[in-house]
Chains A and B, each alone.
Chain A
Amino acid sequence: MTAYVIRRVLTGLLILVLLSMLTFLLFNALPADPAALTCGKNCTPQVIEANRIRLGLDLPLWQQYIEFVKGLFVGRTYGSGTATFACAAPCLGYSFRRGQEVTPLILDALPVTIYLAVGAFVLWTVVGVLLGIFAALRRGRWQEKATLGAALVGYSFPSFFIGLLLLFFVVIRWRLLPYPSYVPPQDNPVQFFQTMILPWITLALIFAAFYIRLTRNQMLETLGEDYIRTARSKGLAEHTVIRKHALRAGLTPIVTAAGLDLAGLLGGAIIVESVFTLPGLGRLAINAVVDADLPVIVATVLVAGSFIVIANIIVDLLYAVIDPRVRLS
């Protein structure tokens, strides 16, 4: 088991290193010249060259990468002579467009995205898994068909459509909620919830629809297993068979899916954040793309990727806790 944990963590770290290299390469492969982008209105080739040197973009690629990694762990300094400025670790780079370090940008946006993702995650896993179990237990009856039908509708609508629909009716037409305007929960919890409730619902609807189907299929498959028949033939009550024998096995794959979906959202829910103007990672990323703000793009990709890698490790470890067969192999 310990060896398994160590192996998983090491491979995770390796993937992170590869990910950072890849995003860094990608950043340099783009046709835009970052030095030119830093140049203001009165741009001359001399200014561009000066900026290139100031930002370290004149160095060979491998050296730039080492500088980048160094910045991540110990911080780095840009420029030379009087024009130097320090970027403390973890330094994710410097946004030429905004004239700002990237790390604080990410740190500002991250909590918003975490609140959004975790809130939606709780909603959709509870609703999706419960309805999925319900559908499986009512197999072949109208309740199953109604649940699956509703899931299909939820699944078919794109999130921006559901988001705009909710925004239009709940906020504009019926005036049930004020127009969303993000504040941190510690500043104004009421306004925080008023702002977050619609994004949570929007995001949760899409995922819940998927989880209903996933859970139902998993449960039906598990309920057909021989060991469920064994449990019944022991004389266990049906609710014990479901709760103790079927759920334990049937929900295991859902842990995987849920962990990875949550991690994916932590990298930013671009559409929902944009619809509800939430200043999260998704919106930061999309703005960076629009502005060709390359360091910010690299940083958001790296952060999002790290979440996925970490979630993968956690999910694998959880799996080993749940399923004893995984521990040995």
Chain B
Amino acid sequence: MTETYVRVEDLKVSFKTEDGIVRAVDGVSFGVDRGKTLAVVGESGSGKSVTAQALMGLVNKRNAQVEGSAWVGDNELISSSDDDLRKLRGSMMSMIFQDPFASLHPFYRIGAQLAEAIRVHRSMSKAEAREEVLTMLRRVGIPNPERRIDDYPHQLSGGMRQRVMIAMALINGPSLLIADEPTTALDVTVQAQIMELLAELQEQYNTAIILITHDLGVVADVADEVAVMYAGRLVERGSLDDIFYSPEMPYTVGLLSSVPRLDAVSERLTPIPGQPPSLINLAAGCVFYPRCTASSRVPGDRCATERPDLLQVTPTHAVRCHLDQEQREQFANESLAAVTGAEGGAA
């Protein structure tokens, strides 16, 4: 395996709750290089946000246990002290969040919030910081930054606020940016602008981006690689083409067939039946087994009793499934053909 810039290996996060231990993230591994985008997709509760917060050191260590390792360049995050991690946050790695309405402090001017992000990591006079904030606001496409810098968040639109959040995240030139559903709370037209901006800035700063989303349309536009999570586990990982054109895990197939497509023949979408399982006391067997429509093709009851391993099927593509390769491809072709017509499936 080549040394990728950001490497997450066997990450596990579990929370102690009154009902038992919740294994929110269980053995997740992935990597992403500088200048590249990894999309982490999955339903709500699949552990994608927890993964991000664990990397940032934002999970509460008092009730959460984090295991495994995560490297950003030469820095190992999981074993780092709180203070070392704090120094990396906002400088080497930073994060933008889903809701730009709630993510900025309502009582402080945006200029002050951005300057604070600079001055916590670099010693700089207030005047210099203000200059840099202005430059950054201009760079993220805020019109009239000289005037806007003294605005309060509530005076800005949602798209503008997300631009401010992006400015704040990138102001110290991080090598890793985690974007947790950055466009979910925004209008569709604004969504595209924000994703475009992120792509532009990624090129300028040569940033590795981990994009957490459930929007497969966004993934198709910007991702280089895709990791699919389900119930805290990575169920499939591969290049954008691997996932979109030759998905093999029945869950990924299900996700793809539940998305509206312009080339669809069928009027109907095919939702995945059932609900994700509770992460407390998961049953033995494949986590997706209760909702999987392909499990009957596996001989015996392996799906119900045995956890499948993540299997490397090509150098870029890994799948967690008991079906053999032929069965997986066949299932994917059948399912996607039902949505997109005969030419769907393996391209």
Give A residues with C-beta under 8 Å from B: 140, 225-227, 229-237, 240, 245, 248-249, 322-325, 328
In the complex, identify which listed stretch (B34-42, B101-109, B208-216, B295-303) lies at the interface while the others stay far away.
Answer: B101-109
Interface centre among B63, B94, B117 (most CB of A within 10 A): B117
10 closest residue pairs by CB, A with B = A235-B90, A226-B102, A235-B89, A234-B90, A227-B105, A324-B152, A226-B103, A234-B117, A233-B95, A230-B103
0/1 interface trace, chain B 82-110, chain A, CB 8 Å (1 if under): 00001111110011010100111111000
B58, B87, B102, B107: the one within 8 Å of A248 (CB): B107
Q: A225-B102, A245-B105 are in contact. Are A236 and B116 (CB under 8 A)?
A: yes
- In the complex, what distance in Å separates the CA atom of A226 from the CA atom of B86? 18
Q: A225-B102, A232-B58, A234-B117 are in contact. Are A324 and B89 (CB under 8 A)?
A: no
Q: A227-B103, A324-B106 are in contact. Are A140 and B62 (CB under 8 A)?
A: yes
> Which B residues lie within 8 Å of A235 (CB)?
86-91, 117, 120-121
B170 at interface (Cβ–Cβ under 8 A)?
A: no
B56, B86, B97, B155: the one within 8 Å of A237 (CB): B86
Q: A234-B120, A236-B116 are in contact. Are A249 and B62 (CB under 8 A)?
A: no
Quick one: closest A residue to B87, CB to CB? A235
Whole-angstrom distance from the CB of B192 to the nearest CB of chain A? Answer: 23
B95, B106, B152, B169: the one within 8 Å of A249 (CB): B106
> Which A residues lie within 8 Å of B99 (CB)?
226
- Tell me the residues in window 112-162 of chain B with beta carbons closer than 8 Å to chain A beta carbons: 116-117, 120-121, 152, 154-155
> Which B residues lie within 8 Å of A240 (CB)?
120
> Which A residues lie within 8 Å of B95 (CB)?
233
> Which B residues lie within 8 Å of A248 (CB)?
105, 107
0/1 interface trace, chain B 162-204, chain A, CB 8 Å (1 if under): 0001001100000000000000000000000000000000000
Give B residues with C-beta under 8 Å from A: 56, 58, 62-63, 86-91, 94-95, 97, 99, 102-107, 116-117, 120-121, 152, 154-155, 165, 168-169
Q: Are B105 and A249 in contact (CB under 8 A)?
A: yes
Q: Are B168 and A234 in contact (CB under 8 A)?
A: yes
Q: Are B104 and A227 in contact (CB under 8 A)?
A: yes
Interface centre among A140, A227, A322 (most CB of B within 10 A): A227
Query: Chain A's interface: helix, strand, loop or mixed, by majority?
Result: helix
> Which B residues lie within 8 Å of A230 (CB)?
97, 103-105, 165, 168
B56, B87, B152: the one within 8 Å of A233 (CB): B56
- In the complex, what distance in Å separates the CA atom of A245 from the CA atom of B95? 18
- In the complex, what distance in Å separates the CA atom of A231 from the CA atom of B120? 11
Q: Are B120 and A236 in contact (CB under 8 A)?
A: yes
- In the complex, what distance in Å separates the CA atom of A226 from the CA atom of B106? 11
Other A-B pairs, 11, CB within 8 Å; known A227-B106, A230-B103 = A140-B62, A140-B63, A227-B104, A227-B105, A232-B89, A236-B86, A245-B105, A248-B107, A249-B106, A324-B106, A328-B154
> Which B residues lie within 8 Å of A231 (CB)?
105
Q: Are B106 and A233 in contact (CB under 8 A)?
A: no
- In the complex, what distance in Å separates the CA atom of A240 from the CA atom of B103? 17
Whole-angstrom distance from the CB of B316 to the nearest CB of chain A? Answer: 31
> Which B residues lie within 8 Å of A245 (CB)?
105
> Which A residues lie within 8 Å of B90 (CB)?
233-236
Q: A324-B106, A324-B152, A324-B154 are in contact. Are A229 and B89 (CB under 8 A)?
A: no
- In the complex, what distance in Å separates the CA atom of A101 from the CA atom of B197? 76
Quick one: closest B residue to A329, CB to CB? B154
A236, A324, A328: the one within 8 Å of B107 (CB): A324
Quick one: closest A residue to B106, CB to CB? A325
Whole-angstrom distance from the CB of A318 to the nearest CB of chain B? Answer: 13
Q: A225-B102, A226-B99, A325-B154 are in contact. Are A233 and B58 (CB under 8 A)?
A: yes
Whole-angstrom distance from the CB of B197 to the nearest CB of chain A? Answer: 18
- In the complex, what distance in Å separates the CA atom of A236 from the CA atom of B104? 14
Q: Are B97 and A226 in contact (CB under 8 A)?
A: yes
Whole-angstrom distance from the CB of A240 to the nearest CB of chain B? Answer: 8
Whole-angstrom distance from the CB of A24 to the nearest CB of chain B? Answer: 43
> Which A residues lie within 8 Å of B169 (CB)?
233
Whole-angstrom distance from the CB of A170 to the nearest CB of chain B? Answer: 41
- In the complex, what distance in Å separates the CA atom of A325 from the CA atom of B103? 15
- In the complex, what distance in Å separates the CA atom of A70 from the CA atom of B116? 57
> Which A residues lie within 8 Å of B102 (CB)?
225-227
Whole-angstrom distance from the CB of B211 to the nearest CB of chain A? Answer: 16
Quick one: closest B residue to A240, CB to CB? B120
> Which B residues lie within 8 Å of A249 (CB)?
105-107
- In the complex, what distance in Å separates the CA atom of A231 from the CA atom of B152? 16
B58, B63, B88, B154: the one within 8 Å of A229 (CB): B58
Interface centre among A230, A240, A324 (most CB of B within 10 A): A230
- In the complex, what distance in Å separates the CA atom of A232 from the CA atom of B154? 21
